[in-house]
Every structure is written in C-alpha cells, then in structure tokens.
Amino acid sequence: DTGVSQNPRHKITKRGQNVTFRCDPISEHNRLYWYRQTLGQGPEFLTYFQNEAQLEKSRLLSDRFSAERPKGSFSTLEIQRTEQGDSAMYLCASSLEPGTTAWNEQFFGPGTRLTVL
Amino acid sequence: GENVEQHPSTLSVQEGDSAVIKCTYSDSASNYFPWYKQELGKRPQLIIDIRSNVGEKKDQRIAVTLNKTAKHFSLHITETQPEDSAVYFCAARMEYGNKLVFGAGTILRVKS
C-alpha cells in the first residue's frame, strides 16, 4: 500500500498519560497535515509541515500538543497529559507542494482513534 | 477565519434518485473546493473538486457547481446506488493556502 499510513490505529489511554502517534506520508509528498475529527463533525485542521518545517498551527493545538517531522518524511504527534476532551480521530494527510501538478489533493491516512478514559 | 456550513446533515433517497448537498463558505479569498466521501471506519477520499475559475465540473454521476458571488457550492449525485451511502464532506481552501476547512458532513443513505 503506497498511501498514507498511520500507527497505531487505535489507542486507549488513561487521563494524564502521554501518547504519540505516527504518520507516514506518500513518499514524494512535501506537505504533511494533521487534522482532528470528532463524532459527527468534519476534520479540523491542527498543523502542517512543508518538509521538516512546521509552518502553521491552529489555535486548537494547545501547548500539550507537539508535532514533529524531523527528516521531512514521517511525522509524530504527541499529546501530553491527555484529557477526556482529547478523545477523537487524529487524521494525517499529505500532498505535493503548491505549484506542482495536482498539488491540490490532500490524501488522508486511516487515522488513529484515541480514547482517553 | 473561514467557516463552511453544510446542509442537510442527513439525506435519504431512493436508489436511482438524485441527491444534492449544499455548502456555503465565508471567506471570499477561498478558491478551491473539494468534496470528500468517508465510509464508516475508513479514511476520507476525494471524489471531486473545483477551482473558482470554473462554474461546474462533472465526473460520471457526480457533479459540483460553484456560485462565487453567493459563496456557495453544491454536490450533485445522479442515479444513486447503495454504494453511494456514506458521509460526504465539503471543504474550502484559499489560493496556495494550507488548511482545508471542512463542513460538518452529510450522511447520505441510499435505500434499495
């Protein structure tokens, strides 16, 4: 499968614990995005990377959230001191960079479903 | 910031009928409008998109129309089939912008 992959697919944790998710984008894609999706809602933007640079962060991304893309390939999203309100599906997407052919489409991964007890 | 509203939240149609889902956006600088289909437990997948320099785009049974003046765009599915049943999301993005701003989604049920 050459699409976007995410691990783990499911994570159950207790309130106050730290969790880390991984996203592997499509190999030639420079841009990588993180979204959060709660039940009955559309995905909400969290942050995005152009190669290894984190260029935009949403106000939704509190200081408990940190994302990295150290080598411009895979990315990790860490949530510290999880709260019940963090329970959601965390989606990763990737795309080519602007100006390239077909850069518009964002390809989504299967998501990581987080449940905070 | 950009806001996208989507209606209806649920839509039931008989197999073979047409389905229409409508979205409005707030930021006039938005000029890219994709539609994603998400089946239960699966990732969102792009089904059609439109740029603001085009008023309509078709791909087999699916079409999207855009009215920039009114800031709304619609998804049209003709000859619906049971496999069209899913959640459909509209989204908007500014030129060379980064984030997609999604609507809340429409649950489409096609009854056979």
**Subunit contact B43:A56, Cβ cutoff 8 A:** no
Which residues have CB under 8 Å from B75's CB, separation 6+? B19, B20, B21, B23, B35, B48, B62, B63, B64, B88, B90
For residue A111, the chain B residues in CB contact (below 8 A) are 43
Task: Report chain B residues whose CB lies below 8 A from the CB of A31.
Answer: 98
Instruction: Give first-to-last CA distance, chain B, whole Å.
Output: 41
For residue A33, give the H/E element and its range: strand A31-37
Q: Give the minimum alpha-carbon distance from B87 to chain A in angstroms, rounded to a whole number.
A: 9
Residue B50 CB neighbours (<10 A): 20
C-beta atoms of A56 and B34 within 8 A: no
Q: How far does the CA of residue A77 sit from the closest CA of chain B (Å)?
A: 17
What is the per-residue pLDDT for A1?
53
pLDDT for A59: 86
Query: Which chain A residues are within 8 Å of B21, Cβ to Cβ?
Result: none
pLDDT digits (tens, 9 = 90+) for B28-82: 889 899 999 999 989 999 999 998 888 999 999 999 999 999 999 999 999 999 9
Q: Per residue in A51-95, pLDDT tens?
A: 999 998 998 888 999 999 998 899 999 999 999 999 999 999 999
Which pLDDT belongs to residue A25?
97
As given in the structure block, the two tokens for residue A28 are: 């030639």
**Contact criterion met (CB < 8 Å) for B45 and A108:** yes
Report d(CA A73, CA A70) in Å as an integer: 7
**pLDDT value at residue B107:** 98
Q: Please name which of A105, A89, A90 lies closest in space to residue A29, comparing C-alpha atoms.
A: A105
Residues of A in contact with B4 (CB under 8 A): 42
**A13-63, pLDDT tens digit by residue?**
999 999 999 999 999 899 999 999 999 899 999 999 999 999 989 988 889
Cβ neighbours of residue A39 under 8 Å, at least 6 residues apart? none
Contact A43 B34 (CB under 8 A): no
